[in-house]
């Protein structure tokens, strides 16, 4: 396990990535959630990936963690970074796993570079939100990201300061906000500390990268979902409060190669932790 590797991209940007699991295992590029970083897989633990026979490679997206910001990027631009990283590591083919806000990047890879992929899996993934969706699902918090990004960056700085609060205080706040399954994961030994480290690392160089990363979900995507021809597996918890599940079901119904798996007693965070065996099985299906 090495959590900080630095790579210089063709345009001289720096890309940071971590590696977990079995170095000789099935290669998986892991795309972290919004506000997080390449440290996110530590919430599961390196020994889990070793046991499952996975070699997990988790890059920081541009402007997040230790990766340099990339102006005016879209989801499709990420596929170029992914290809360069894979080529550098000598990976002809690999799987992709996107969690939460990493979902759009997995969808982009499935659409644009299917010839390089063994499999594509999204867990608790976000999708394109229109203004009508925001109104329909009453997501006032997301209006802030779409229409007032500078205010959202202010709120992120406030959130970052709160990460330094005592763990018991943070857990008390989260207990009011999270579904039971998610809270059970976060309150497990060491998890709140690791979560704070993951989020702090994501905001290491400021809030601009994370704000841009999330804003992409409220703009017209730069690829069409109808470009996805390869199998795509989606995992969601029915207690997810972050992603409107009606929207997920609508999208899944329009994609003939997509399989949607729902768990009745899982939330947004808990799925990837509690259902990692099923997720690994989907990743290993070539």
Span of 32-46, 74-88, 152-166, 171-185 with lowest mean pLDDT: 152-166
Whether the CB-CB separation of 30 and 58 falls below 8 Å is answered with: yes
Render pLDDT for 207-258 as a digit per residue (tens, 0 to 9). Answer: 889 989 988 988 899 999 999 999 999 999 999 988 989 999 999 999 999 9
* Residue of 174, 181, 220 lying closest to 196 (CA atoms): 174
What's 119's domain CATH number?
Answer: 3.40.50.1820
Whether the CB-CB separation of 266 and 181 falls below 8 Å is answered with: yes
Mean pLDDT (whole number) for 159-165: 74
Kindly tell me if the per-residue pLDDT of 279 is higher than 70. Answer: yes
Lookup: tokens for 7: 């790579």
Render pLDDT for 20-45 as a digit per residue (tens, 0 to 9). Answer: 999 999 999 999 999 899 999 999 99
Residue 267's pLDDT is 96
For CA atoms 149, 65, 113, 275, give the dihedral sign. Answer: negative
Kindly tell me if the per-residue pLDDT of 137 is higher than 60. Answer: no
Buried-exposed string 241-277: b where 16+ CB fall within 10 A, e elsewhere: ebbbeebbeebbeebeebebbbbeebbbbbbbbbbbe
Report which secondary-structure segment, H or E, holds 4. strand 2-8
Residue 133's pLDDT is 62
- For residue 61, the 8-state DSSP code is P
Domain count, the chain: 1
Kindly tell me if the per-residue pLDDT of 141 is higher than 70. Answer: no
Whether the CB-CB separation of 104 and 127 falls below 8 Å is answered with: yes
Query: What is the residue range of 172's domain?
Result: 4-284
Kindly tell me if the per-residue pLDDT of 138 is higher than 60. Answer: no
Whether the CB-CB separation of 73 and 67 falls below 8 Å is answered with: no
Kindly tell me if the per-residue pLDDT of 144 is higher than 80. Answer: no
pLDDT band at 131 (very low <50, low <70, confident <90, very high): low
Kindly tell me if the per-residue pLDDT of 84 is higher than 80. Answer: yes
Residue 201's pLDDT is 95
């Amino acid at each position: 396990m090495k959590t900080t590797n630095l790579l210089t991209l063709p345009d001289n940007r720096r890309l940071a990535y971590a590696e977990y699991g079995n170095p000789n295992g099935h290669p998986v590029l892991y795309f972290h959630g919004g506000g997080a970083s390449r440290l996110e897989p530590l919430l599961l633990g390196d020994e889990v990936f070793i046991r499952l026979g996975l070699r997990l490679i988790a890059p920081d997206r541009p402007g997040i963690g230790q990766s340099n910001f990339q102006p005016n990027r879209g989801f499709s631009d990420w596929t170029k970074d992914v290809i360069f990283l894979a080529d550098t590591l000598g990976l002809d083919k690999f799987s992709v796993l996107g969690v939460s806000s990493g979902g759009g990047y997995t969808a982009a890879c499935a659409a644009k570079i299917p010839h390089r992929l063994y499999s594509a899996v999204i867990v608790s993934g976000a999708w394109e939100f229109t203004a009508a969706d925001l109104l329909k699902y009453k997501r006032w918090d997301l209006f802030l990201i779409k229409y007032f990004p500078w205010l959202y960056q202010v709120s992120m700085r406030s959130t970052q300061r709160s990460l330094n609060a005592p763990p018991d205080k943070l857990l008390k706040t989260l207990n009011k906000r999270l579904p039971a399954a998610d809270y059970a994961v976060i309150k497990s030994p060491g998890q709140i500390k690791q979560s704070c480290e993951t989020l702090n690392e994501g905001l290491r160089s400021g809030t601009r990268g994370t704000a841009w990363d999330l804003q992409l979900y409220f703009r017209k995507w730069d690829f069409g979902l109808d470009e996805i021809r390869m199998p795509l597996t989606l995992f969601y918890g029915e207690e997810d409060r972050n992603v409107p599940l009606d929207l997920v079901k609508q999208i899944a119904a329009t994609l003939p190669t997509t399989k949607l798996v729902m768990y009745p007693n899982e939330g947004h965070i808990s799925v990837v932790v509690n259902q990692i065996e099923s997720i690994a099985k989907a990743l290993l299906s070539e």
